[in-house]
Amino acid sequence: MHDLCSSKAEAEEEKFLKHIDASTYLTLGTRLVIPPYIGNSIRRLAISFDFERVSSIDGLGEVKGLRSFMFIQKSYYIPDICFKENTIDFKMSQYLRIFVADCSRFEGEKLPSEVGELIRLRYLSLRNSNVRELPKSVCSMPYLQTLDLRVSYKVVIRLPNVIWKMKRLKHLFLKDDMKVIGGEKLRLDGLQELEILEEIRSETCGIADIPKLVSLQSLRVRVSDVDSMSIVLSNKNSQLRDTRLCVNGCDLSSEKYMEVLNDGLMSPSLVTLQMCKCDMSGSFPSYRQGMCQNLVSLELEHCKGMIVVMEFGSYPMLQELTLKNVKIAETLTFPSNLFPQLKHLRLYELHDLKKWEMEEGATPKLTSFAIMGCPELKKVPDGLKLLTTLRRITVINMPRVFTETVNEEKYGSFVEKDICMDDLYEP
């Protein structure tokens, strides 16, 4: 059906869409020349790239009346595409609704200010581009619904504090290391229609604005203070159904702050929770009815305080559990009635762990297990061999006796073992 729709869209009589493979139109090695016959006949243009390096794109400025323009990346390799200021005549493209310039290198590492003249634009993506600064004119696009600013990992993008003026915005994708021009926190309070907000940090964004986003459905946020954590977890927005929260470096050692976390874990929208370098000396909150009812992924890294792993076994939807460099009991026990949905288990740098027991029927859906740097653990539990769902075991930097035991054990025929034999602990 997709092939049929594509062929009809590109048919000569329809003139709905033109798809160009960059490798076909490259001249002089790296120069892409748009065929002159496209002219005014095409309203939607897509250019796909694979491994090409493109120093310039010629002929695109002659195309008038474009409704949609997209760069399409065909491989995991990120192409190198030079997008010069005259590549597109923005005045001639006033009807443009979709502008996807992924993987592009803009001259001066800036998006041209003329982009504000695209008053009919609905979708703007600069993903994996080199844009380091967004012009203020971006708020002049009154109908923009999607803004994707997940630029290249090598680039820190600077934003003017005008995003809050884009009243029609529904999807906003940021980069967690972005900065705000002027040093203030990014305002979000005017985005009444915003549904998706991803990759924001409490250091650079106004977390207090989040409860004002009445249409918000999906949120991905990193916080580094208890007040921000409380605002995110206590949000009563009935539309919000997907909160992905990372808590970094928070001091939760006091009874008051631990109670904030305890209450926050009752949030029905909490889907993933990552806690890194947090002080939880009072121990992680004990399970109570209704806690983490929709939590799918839990990750605790480099946190202070005692972690009782069995408490997580009562989370009804938990599918991924990662424990790294945290304090647990010497014996890890998985009873038969806990962890009903767990699929992926990762145990990293648990220096206290000496013994692991698994009752028959425990973790009935476990698919993958990874362990690294647990020097006191000598073997995996016998119950692991009884799991018919297990497909992969990963072992890295473990004692020699542990590694040899895993190698010798007979698991199901579908189980793949990925064992690193370098730098093993000696027994």
**What does the pLDDT look like over 37-88, one tens digit per residue?**
666 667 888 888 876 678 778 777 677 778 898 988 776 667 678 877 777 7
Top-confidence residue, 366 or 113: 366
Residue 421: which pLDDT band, with cuts at 50, 70 and 90?
Answer: low
CA torsion through residues 30, 76, 61, 5, sign: positive
- Decide if 339 contacts 363 (C-beta within 8 A): yes
Q: Does residue 367 belong to any structural domain of this protein?
A: yes
- List helix spans (H) across 198-243: 226-233
Which of 20-34, 125-139, 152-166, 186-200 comes out lowest in average pLDDT?
20-34
| Among 364, 313, 307, residue whose Cα is nearest residue 334 | 313
Tell me the two tokens of residue 189: 């309070």
Range 174-195 burial, b when 16+ CB lie within 10 A, else e: bbbebbbeeeebbbbebbeebb
Tell me the two tokens of residue 255: 């009874």
* pLDDT for position 376: 94
Q: Which three-class secondary structure state does DSSP give residue 9?
A: helix
Q: Does residue 90 belong to any structural domain of this protein?
A: no
Q: Does residue 374 belong to any structural domain of this protein?
A: yes
- Decide if 296 contacts 316 (C-beta within 8 A): no
Q: Does residue 427 belong to any structural domain of this protein?
A: yes
CA atoms of 384 and 334, how far apart (whole Å): 11
What is the residue whose two structure tokens read 């443009």?
Answer: 96
Judging by DSSP bridges, how do beta strands 297-301 and 320-324 pair with one another? parallel
CA torsion through residues 118, 120, 126, 129, sign: negative
Tell me the two tokens of residue 194: 């915003």
CA atoms of 411 and 232, how far apart (whole Å): 43
Residue 209: which pLDDT band, with cuts at 50, 70 and 90?
Answer: very high
What would you report as the CA-atom Rg of the chain, rounded to the nearest whole angstrom? 26
Residue 427: which pLDDT band, with cuts at 50, 70 and 90?
Answer: very low
Angle formed at CA 119 by CA 114 and CA 125, multiple of 5 degrees = 70
CA atoms of 42 and 392, how far apart (whole Å): 50
Residues with Cβ within 8 Å of 4's Cβ and at least 6 positions away in sequence, in order, are none
Q: Angle, nearest 10°, between helix axes 226-233 and 255-264?
A: 30
* pLDDT for position 123: 97
* pLDDT for position 422: 56
Residues with Cβ within 8 Å of 404's Cβ and at least 6 positions away in sequence, in order, are none
- Report which residue type is found at 392: R
Q: What is the tally of structural domains in the chain?
A: 1
Q: Does residue 8 belong to any structural domain of this protein?
A: no
Query: Per-residue pLDDT averaged across 354-383, rounded?
Result: 93
CA atoms of 369 and 34, how far apart (whole Å): 51
Residue 14: which pLDDT band, with cuts at 50, 70 and 90?
Answer: low
Residue 306: which pLDDT band, with cuts at 50, 70 and 90?
Answer: very high
Top-confidence residue, 222 or 65: 222
Q: Which three-class secondary structure state does DSSP give residue 406?
A: helix
Query: Per-residue pLDDT averaged across 26-37, rounded?
Result: 77
Q: Does residue 345 belong to any structural domain of this protein?
A: yes
Q: What pTM was estimated for this model as a whole?
A: 0.91
CA atoms of 190 and 204, how far apart (whole Å): 17
Count CB-CB contacts under 10 A for residue 277: 14
- Report which residue type is found at 293: Q
- Give 151-199 pLDDT, tens digit per residue: 998 899 999 999 999 999 999 999 999 999 999 999 999 999 999 999 9
Q: Residue 6: pLDDT above 80?
A: no
Burial class (CB in 10 A: 0-12, 13-18, 19+), 374: buried
Q: Does residue 285 belong to any structural domain of this protein?
A: no
Q: Where are the beta strands (DSSP E) in 55-130?
A: 56-58, 68-73, 80-83, 98-100, 104-106, 123-125
Distances (CA, A) of 176 to 146, 158, 203: 18, 11, 10
CA atoms of 225 and 15, how far apart (whole Å): 54
Q: What is the residue range of 407's domain? A: 329-427
What is the residue whose two structure tokens read 């926050």?
Answer: 264
Q: Does residue 397 belong to any structural domain of this protein?
A: yes
Judging by DSSP bridges, how do beta strands 31-33 and 26-27 pair with one another? antiparallel
Residue 297: which pLDDT band, with cuts at 50, 70 and 90?
Answer: very high
Top-confidence residue, 146 or 16: 146
CA atoms of 217 and 222, how far apart (whole Å): 17
Residues with Cβ within 8 Å of 108's Cβ and at least 6 positions away in sequence, in order, are none
Mean predicted lDDT score pLDDT of the chain? 89
Query: Per-residue pLDDT averaged across 413-423, rounded?
Result: 79
